[in-house]
Amino acid sequence: MSTVATDIDALWMPFTANRDFKKNPRIISGAEGHHYIAADGTRLYDMFSGLWTSGVGHCHPKIVAAVQKQVAELDYCMSFQMGNDKAFALAERVIDMAPDGFSNAFFTNSGSESVDTALKIALAYHRARGEGNRTRLIGREKGYHGVNFGGMSVGGIVPNRKVFSANLIPGVDHIRHTLNINENAFSRKQPEWGTHLADDLQRLAELHDGSNIAAVIVEPVAGSAGVLPPPAGYLERLREICDQHGILLIFDEVITAFGRLGTAFGAQRFGVTPDIITSAKGLTNGVVPMGCVLVQEHIHDAFMQGPEHMVELFHGYTYSGHPLAAAAGLAVMDVYEEEGTFEQAAALEQTFEDILHSFKDHEKVIDIRNFGLMGSIELAPRKGDPGARGLEIHKKCFWDEKLVVRNGMDVLQFSPFLNSNVDDMQQSFEAIRRVIDSVD
Ligand code: PXG
């Protein structure tokens, strides 16, 4: 049996221009620390730390060893009406790091599943409390909450929704997004303008009557839309309006949890506590797929009623709390603690911000945004050909500079390793400047 493809056509790649990719494929067969290794042995520096996933680097020896040990000890265990030891241990570890008031963790296998799980928990919570009329869900324009039907419906990325428009779940509204380049171009960290946009939630509460709204979901810092930090005071205002109307606040922390903002959770960095948190990515450093929904005690308690032999929540996945994922997660939590990963990330934030903003006067750059170790450089689109400049830069970085740089249309996105070395960061951005200079 060969493990090398003779024809790469069989794989339908996700979120990829398949035909274009297959003409000149970028295939990776190894990784070590901060580098990917291509099939021909070329080493490429990863400026996106996986896909916002791999904060402590690839193939971390401690995580590798934990997964290797686990696969030989307990490969799989049914998670319904029984459970594996590592899943319980990981839930306890994650809850210990969570903001005050959080008591329970529900495991999924991805960010998309975490989001759909959180939306279902919100609806079921209200029903369990006799407020089954609270059925409306609120998302935000430009929000990314994965690709399942719930997350797509509350999400606000137009191309992801367009083809499925008629099948999005009913009863969903969106508040406006907070991107405004005219007002806020080149703001560092949180922009000043835009706090009032949180009042859109108040308007929707007045329109529908707040008593019909179950939950609002936002990313504390929107990631996929091109890194949009919340305006100063915005998240606090959302929290206030939710409290006023009994609406649950869900933070989608699939990107922002586990050190990306220099704290365990974005909620702690902003000092705003939601009712539910969704996470994935950094939970296992991307090593084994896993997501997690964290809930406050009052939410969990609302379900714990009725006959004790009855299932309280009819929801779960075959692989919820999978032993390999849980073992990876436990090793990752050890690494975070032993290496001081969140402190490392916090210490890098200012340098990263300064390097990014050194692109401010570049003629092709129209905005730069950053918060924690999330950053973006937005380029002016080529006339009549939006997205072409961004994709060309991604490819040129890969082939000419041996750098992995993610582009969303003409926005270059950066997710440095939480334990990056400053020289690598500086050199990578020098290379990016050469590439931006060299394209049309
Ligand atoms: N919520 C958020 C906030 C995310 O960033 C998901 C949910 C879905 O996670 P899964 O594991 O189902 O993919 C994500 C995923 C990008 C990019 O270019 C980011 C994601 C996915 C694809 C592209 O920034 N994040």
Any atom of ligand 1 within 6 Å of the Cβ of 141: no
Annotated domain spans of the chain: 8-60+341-438, 65-339
Any atom of ligand 1 within 6 Å of the Cβ of 255: yes
Of 156, 141, 154, 157, which Cα lies nearest the Cα of 409?
Answer: 157
For 86, residues 6+ apart whose C-beta sits below 8 A from its C-beta are 70, 74, 321, 323, 326, 327, 329, 330
Any atom of ligand 1 within 6 Å of the Cβ of 155: no
Q: Whose CA is nearest to atom 17 of ligand 1?
A: 224
Helix (H, G, I), strand (E, B) or coil at 416: coil
Helix axis angle, 422-438 to 388-401, nearest 10°? 120
Any atom of ligand 1 within 6 Å of the Cβ of 145: yes
Cβ neighbours of 61 (radius 10 Å)? 10
The per-residue pLDDT for 131 is 98
Cα–Cα distance between 299 and 322 in angstroms, integer?
24
End-to-end CA distance of the chain: 45
Phi, psi of 105 (to 5 degrees): -125, 135
Mutate to test the pocket of ligand 1, among 46, 149, 224 (most ligand atoms within 8 A of CB): 224
Same fold, 8-60+341-438 and 65-339: no
316-348: string of b/e by CB count within 10 Å (b at 16+)? ebebbbbbbbbbbbbbbbebbeeeebbebbbeb
Position in ligand 1 atom list of the atom nearest CA 278: 1
Q: Are strands 213-218 and 136-140 parallel, antiparallel or unpaired?
A: parallel
Cβ neighbours of 208 (radius 10 Å)? 16
Any atom of ligand 1 within 6 Å of the Cβ of 223: yes
Q: Whose CA is nearest to atom 10 of ligand 1?
A: 111
The per-residue pLDDT for 39 is 87
Task: Give Cα 240 distance to the centre of its chain.
Answer: 24
Residue with tokens 């290797």: 68
The amino acid present at 35, given as its one-letter code, is H
The per-residue pLDDT for 5 is 83
The per-residue pLDDT for 380 is 97
**Cα-to-centroid distance, 48 and ligand 1 (Å):** 13
Position in ligand 1 atom list of the atom nearest CA 224: 24
The per-residue pLDDT for 4 is 78
Position in ligand 1 atom list of the atom nearest CA 111: 9
- DSSP of 41-67: S-EEEETTHHHHT-TT-BT-HHHHHHH
Half-sphere exposure for 423 (CA within 13 Å, toward CB):
0
Cα–Cα distance between 439 and 22 in angstroms, integer?
22
Q: Whose CA is nearest to atom 22 of ligand 1?
A: 224
Per-residue pLDDT of the chain (440 residues; tens, 9 = 90+): 567 787 899 999 999 999 999 999 999 999 999 999 998 999 999 999 999 999 999 999 999 999 999 999 999 999 999 999 999 999 999 999 999 999 999 999 999 999 999 999 999 999 999 999 999 999 999 999 999 999 999 999 999 999 999 999 999 999 999 999 999 999 999 999 999 999 999 999 999 999 999 999 999 999 999 999 999 999 999 999 999 999 999 999 999 999 999 999 999 999 999 999 999 999 999 999 999 999 999 999 999 999 999 999 999 999 999 999 999 999 999 999 999 999 999 999 999 999 999 999 999 999 999 999 999 999 999 999 999 999 999 999 999 999 999 999 999 999 999 999 999 999 999 999 999 999 99
The per-residue pLDDT for 1 is 56
The CATH code for residues 65-339 is 3.40.640.10
Q: Whose CA is nearest to atom 3 of ligand 1?
A: 254
Mutate to test the pocket of ligand 1, among 16, 46, 48, 52 (most ligand atoms within 8 A of CB): 52
Q: What is the largest CA-CA distance in the chain?
A: 68
Any atom of ligand 1 within 6 Å of the Cβ of 408: yes
Helix axis angle, 323-339 to 341-357, nearest 10°? 80
Mutate to test the pocket of ligand 1, among 13, 46, 48, 51 (most ligand atoms within 8 A of CB): 51
**Cα-to-centroid distance, 144 and ligand 1 (Å):** 7
Helix (H, G, I), strand (E, B) or coil at 259: coil
**Cα-to-centroid distance, 348 and ligand 1 (Å):** 23
Any atom of ligand 1 within 6 Å of the Cβ of 367: no
Cα–Cα distance between 23 and 86 in angstroms, integer?
44
- Determine the topology of domain 8-60+341-438 in CATH: Aspartate Aminotransferase, domain 1 (3.90.1150)
